[in-house]
Amino acid sequence: MVVDKMVFGFLQLLKLRLALHVAKPSIRLFAPLLLQYAAVVLAMSPLPISAQSISINDNLGNHVSIPKPAEKIIALSPHVVELLFSLGAGDKVIATIEYADYPPQAKKIKRIGDAMSVNFEELIALKPDLVVAWGKGTQFSLIEKLKRFGIPVFLSGSSSLQDIPSSLQSLGQLTGNVDKADKLVDKFNSSVKKLKVTKQAERPGVFIQIWGSPLRTIGGGHIVDEIISHCGGRNIYKDQQQLSPVVSIESLMKRDPQIIVLNNNPEGFSREISELIKPWMKIDAVTNKNYCKVDFDMLLRPTLRVLDAMDVICGCINNNMQSKKN
């Protein structure tokens, strides 16, 4: 239908040219101006959405433009793969990196590297329409190299809960799944509001052990720090600027958390708990065996599954608050 309109417009322009050619000399004086005006009007005629380019800003504020919805996407982060599958665009992912394991279908996607190194020649050979990377995880040099080769790059954020719906909406536009994205975003925002715990005068201190040797936790500015605060807790290492700082046992004892969050992976949990339990330790959470077990893939990846991890952490914090009241 749009093509027919364009053809019609062209024919009208042609008729105008002929009319001006046979017109009186006084009218022919204005011919160039009239033809320019007609050409401008024709150029402004609306095109179908599929023929219009998609132009947006990514989560880090960089401009991204593609001529049409992407059909061949390379996702350089496990959380990006998960978001694309949530949108129903998983079949458009032609390559990814190691540890992109959710949903199960993602395990079948071609691997071209890991978080530290990507086979650039192989990436280029796949001729992607779009590369989606992790804003704070993908190497800057790789991103710049992709841009020099003229490959559109979208950077997905992971610093806050709002980065999740923001990424969904942007990826929805880039893949032609806007309606699906809008529904997921509405559901996500509604669920986050429902999970919020009533604020107490004194928030329980929370320690998240993401690694045992060396002992690592979560600092301020990480999405998990926001989750703890949203659930009514207090990240005891919020003052640390690093996203994943190394801390000492002595420092942990001094800050004395009431809740310790650990990975619920059976093998990982056994190893991590042995790092903490010592006869001479005086840590409130250890003394009271107040451990909160959660799937770290859900917790640390900025995807829709973070809601399940939030549900667990909010429950642990709420239980701690209730026990103090009794």
Question: What is the per-residue pLDDT across 52-64, written as a single tens digit (0 to 9) for each?
Answer: 789 999 988 999 9
Is a pLDDT exceeding 70 seen at residue 33? no
3-state secondary structure the chain: CHHHHHHHHHHHHHHHHHHHHHCCHHHHCCHHHHHHHHHHHHHCCCCCHHHCCEEEECCCCCEEEECCCCCCEEECCHHHHHHHHHCCCHHHEEEECCCCCCCHHHHHCCECECCCCECHHHHHHCCCCEEEEECCCCCHHHHHHHHHCCCCEEEECCCCCCHHHHHHHHHHHHHCCHHHHHHHHHHHHHHHHHHCCCCCCCCCEEEECCECCCCECCCCCCHHHHHHHHCCCEECCCCCCCCCCECCHHHHHHHCCCEEEEECCHHHHHHHHHHHCCCCCCCHHHHCCCEEEECHHHHHCCCCCHHHHHHHHHHHHHHHHHHHHC
Please tell me whether residues 182 and 221 are part of one structural domain: no
Contacting residues for 32 by C-beta, under 8 A, at least 6 apart? none
Please tell me whether residues 119 and 34 are part of one structural domain: no
CB count in 10 Å sphere of residue 41: 12
User: Among all chains, which residue has been given the structure tokens 């790059």?
Assistant: 153
Q: How confident is the model at residue 277 (pLDDT cuts 50, 70, 90)?
A: low
> pLDDT per residue over 309-324, tens digit each?
999 999 999 988 877 7
Region of poorest pLDDT, from 28-32, 227-231, 264-268: 28-32
Let me know: does 49 contact 179? Beta carbons within 8 Å. Answer: no
> pLDDT per residue over 55-93, tens digit each?
999 988 999 999 999 999 999 999 999 999 999 999 999
Region of poorest pLDDT, from 38-52, 150-164, 205-219, 233-247: 38-52
**Sign of the CA dihedral running 174, 179, 180, 184:** positive
Last residue of a domain, one of 193, 209, 244: 193
Last residue of a domain, one of 14, 29, 46: 46
Please tell me whether residues 184 and 204 are part of one structural domain: no
Query: Beta partners for 55?
Result: 65
Please tell me whether residues 33 and 73 are part of one structural domain: no
CB count in 10 Å sphere of residue 248: 10
For residues 6 and 94, the model is more confident at 94
- Model pLDDT, residue 326: 62
- Model pLDDT, residue 280: 72
Please tell me whether residues 292 and 232 are part of one structural domain: yes
Please tell me whether residues 106 and 182 are part of one structural domain: yes
CB count in 10 Å sphere of residue 292: 21
> pLDDT per residue over 97-148, tens digit each?
999 999 999 999 999 999 889 999 999 999 999 999 998 778 889 999 999 9
In the chain, the number of structural domains is: 3
> pLDDT per residue over 167-207, tens digit each?
999 999 999 999 999 999 999 999 999 997 766 668 999 99
Please tell me whether residues 76 and 181 are part of one structural domain: yes
Please tell me whether residues 63 and 172 are part of one structural domain: yes
Could you tell me the residue range of the domain that residue 292 belongs to?
A: 197-325
pTM of the model: 0.80
Please tell me whether residues 162 and 207 are part of one structural domain: no
Last residue of a domain, one of 135, 159, 193: 193
CB count in 10 Å sphere of residue 40: 9
Q: In angstroms, rounded to a whole number, what is the distance separating the alpha carbons of residues 185 and 175?
A: 16
- Model pLDDT, residue 282: 85
Is a pLDDT exceeding 80 seen at residue 11? no
Please tell me whether residues 32 and 158 are part of one structural domain: no
Q: In angstroms, rounded to a whole number, what is the distance separating the alpha carbons of residues 227 and 235?
A: 9
CATH number at residue 103: 3.40.50.1980
Is a pLDDT exceeding 80 seen at residue 4? no
Please tell me whether residues 124 and 204 are part of one structural domain: no
Please tell me whether residues 62 and 22 are part of one structural domain: no
